[in-house]
């Protein structure tokens, strides 16, 4: 089945996901039915949160898309290149990024295409300067996965106007832009096009 880049979900009775058709960035990483089932739950949760938070009133008004490193996270480019890392230390990957007032951001995993990036953990923080911990994950098992994909047991959700920071913990020292390490996340926001 070809991926329609404009259609992000097809609602059925009760506005639950019947079939997920999402962008290549997400579908290229999926392995097996468990991954598809997990993503379906992620999307359903995001729909519920966006309605409860009054981002939209119905699922048909909602657009769900992959997070954009520059536009959503204020990174230097649209590729998830790791910043310079110091061995046995935490490094800021994203610092003090405010979620827009009409968005909800949900992080559900991480991916790497190189088994030697040496990132051991992720730390999701909230508030200016990362004053509180939202979640922390030990992710070394990502390197033994054939897919290079790590799903969080529970997604990390940032609501409209939340300030987020994300740090990585490295086992080795290396220069910036040497390794790609993608954060798997989706954004829920009001649709900019009409669902058919």
Domain boundaries, the chain: 9-190
Residues 6+ apart with CB under 8 A from 187: 64, 65, 66, 67, 68, 72, 103, 104, 105, 106
Dihedral sign of CA atoms 188, 75, 158, 103 in order: negative
pLDDT tens for the chain, 196 residues: list them.
Answer: 333 333 333 333 334 333 333 333 333 334 444 778 888 999 999 999 999 999 999 999 999 999 999 999 999 888 899 999 999 999 999 999 999 999 999 999 998 877 767 899 999 999 999 999 999 999 888 877 777 888 998 999 999 999 999 999 999 999 998 888 999 999 999 997 554 4
Predicted TM-score (pTM) of this structure: 0.80
Distance of CA 165 to the CA centre of its chain: 13
CA–CA gap between residue 182 and residue 48 (Å, rounded): 25
Cβ(181)–Cβ(142) under 8 Å? no
Q: Alpha carbon of 56 to those of 48, 59, 84: distances in Å?
A: 10, 7, 39
- Residue 84 DSSP code: P
Q: Is 124 helix (H, G, I), strand (E, B) or coil?
A: strand
């Amino acid at each position: 089945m070809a991926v329609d880049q404009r259609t992000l979900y097809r609602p059925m009775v009760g506005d639950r996901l019947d079939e997920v058709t999402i962008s290549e960035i997400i579908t290229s990483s999926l392995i097996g039915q468990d991954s598809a089932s997990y993503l379906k739950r992620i999307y359903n949760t995001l729909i519920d949160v966006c309605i409860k938070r009054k981002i939209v009133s119905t699922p048909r008004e909602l657009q769900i898309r992959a997070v954009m490193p520059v536009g959503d996270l204020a990174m230097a480019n649209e590729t998830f290149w790791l910043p310079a890392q110091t061995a046995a230390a935490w490094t800021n990957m994203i610092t003090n990024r405010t979620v827009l007032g009409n968005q909800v951001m949900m992080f559900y995993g991480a991916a790497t295409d190189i088994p030697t990036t040496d990132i051991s953990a992720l730390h999701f923080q909230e508030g200016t300067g990362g004053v509180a911990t939202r979640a922390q994950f030990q992710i070394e098992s990502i390197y033994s996965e054939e897919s290079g994909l790590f799903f969080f047991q529970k997604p990390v959700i940032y609501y409209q106007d939340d300030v987020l920071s994300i740090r990585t913990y490295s086992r080795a020292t290396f220069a910036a832009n040497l390794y790609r390490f993608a954060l798997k996340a989706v954004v829920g926001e009001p649709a900019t096009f009409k669902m058919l």
